[in-house]
Amino acid sequence: MLSKVLIANRGEIAIRIMRACKELGIPTVAVYSDADKSALFTRYADEKVHIGPAPAAQSYLVKDKIIQAALDTGADGIHPGYGFMAEDFEFATMCAKNNIEFIGPPVPSMELMCSKIDSKKSMIKAGVSVVAGVTEAISDHEKALNIAHEIGFPLMLKASAGGGGIGIVRVDRAEDIEEELAKVRRLAKSSFGDDSVFIEKYIHEPHHVEFQVIGDKHGNLIHVLDRECSVQRRNQKLIEETPSQAISEEIREEMGKQAVLAAKTAGYWNAGTCEFMYKDGQFYFLEMNTRLQVEHPITEMITGVDLAREQLRVASGLELEYEQSDIVCKGHAIECRINAEDPANGFMPSPGKIVRYAEPSGPGVRVDSGVYQGLDFPPYYDSMAAKLIVWAEDRPRAIERMKRALWEYQIGGMKTNIPFHEVVMNDPVFKAGIYNTSYIENNDIMAKVTKYMEEKRAQGGNKKTAAAMAAVQTVIAASQG
């Protein structure tokens, strides 16, 4: 087993990994910037190391500082969480050169799957179903135009090294190819240091379904079922649930097999996610995220598999504790990402001091959080403050439980997207489970959110919130003794 693990991340995911380490008896090291000197994750760790100013480019993204912190504290493992350097194969290589275990997949697997072009070529060769398009980088707009006429409009221009919904553009007309290709290449270069762009056929209003996979260094590799991630804005996920309501058991079984095939083709171990688009009985491999996903808790809730624990065990050279036949779906789980954003203002980031804070609790409720009352939520990083996860015996009860938990969740002092989640949980289309990736636009969800927030203000929302806060805090205090 690893003797000490440094978490090269911050916020709720750092705490999540530290909890798994503590249960395995592994001491932990936090690294933190100036902005995070009072953060909750720094208090949870056994040791902490300051790594620089608030901007991530001067702290969390400085590879040498992270490696040196591990060496100085005697950490023999580094867990990257997600974001920052989680899919940076150069950083994983640096870890290996310093005899530090990178808690993730092997470098060749990362390098292959972090290139959408190379991974698509590999998947085609292995027989995995992919979206129609080309498997070469396109830099010339005339060539792009010829390809566009072959596969037809609309189409997608996609950054090969992209992630997080960045570097993906839909093009509907031939006359827009030149300008959009130049834009995507510039964005890809500035965001990922790689201006490689390729073309795929656009699939109208699909479902975004992903499969969790995990493997060990002994050749064992399984999938841990699926997640529906179609509630998105600007290609970024807001709500996830499992199991997906869109796919049949036959499709689920076949997608799971292809996810395992994709991972095995890449020589993969540790945790990862194969993402697919699904529509009308057909599914297509999109990409593989070579890391733990934000939405991994819902998989843990329906299967009982502690994915962070398995990551640590695999990195320590142990075999998986599970076989494929052990993975059984029990009930239904939903996750809402609680972001410091103003849903009435285009989801603009809304950091600030948290003056009131009370988390929901009770049966089937889990909160993965990195915040507390009195914290100045920093503006320098991702806007996600917490993840609210619920489990119930079936989907209707899970939705009702999420509605109750959202009502209990009280955050004062900064705007959050909780009103958005409340609207979605009450929306007939979502409740019926018939939504797709165009759900927000097609169902006027943002207009409904604006109306909902105006109605709350008109009803004395602040007083109502304060009363709810007092009631929730009283109940929580009573439950704690």
Which ranges of 225-270 would DSSP assign to H, the alpha helix?
A: 249-265
Give 403-465 as a DSSP string.
HHHHHH-EEESS--SHHHHHHHHT-HHHHHT---TTHHHHTTHHHHHHHHHHHHHHTTHHHHH
Cα Rg for the chain, rounded, in angstroms? 22
Closest to 60 (Cα-Cα) out of 68, 51, 73: 51
Closest to 211 (Cα-Cα) out of 232, 239, 240: 240
User: Rounded to the nearest 10 degrees, what angle do helices 89-97 and 63-73 cross at?
Assistant: 30
DSSP single-letter state for residue 211: E
* Cβ–Cβ under 8 Å, residues 335 and 389: yes
Contact residues for 175 (Cβ-Cβ < 8 A; gap 6+): none
Q: Which residues of 223-256 are buried (b: 16+ CB within 10 A; e: fewer)?
A: bbbbbbbbbbbeeebbbbbbbbebbeeebbeebb
- Beta strands of 75-150 (E only): which ranges? 77-79, 101-102
Closest to 381 (Cα-Cα) out of 6, 32, 16: 32
The residue length of the chain stands at: 481
> Active site residue: 185, 252, 291, 337, which one?
291
Has 291 been annotated as catalytic? yes
Residues catalogued as catalytic? 291
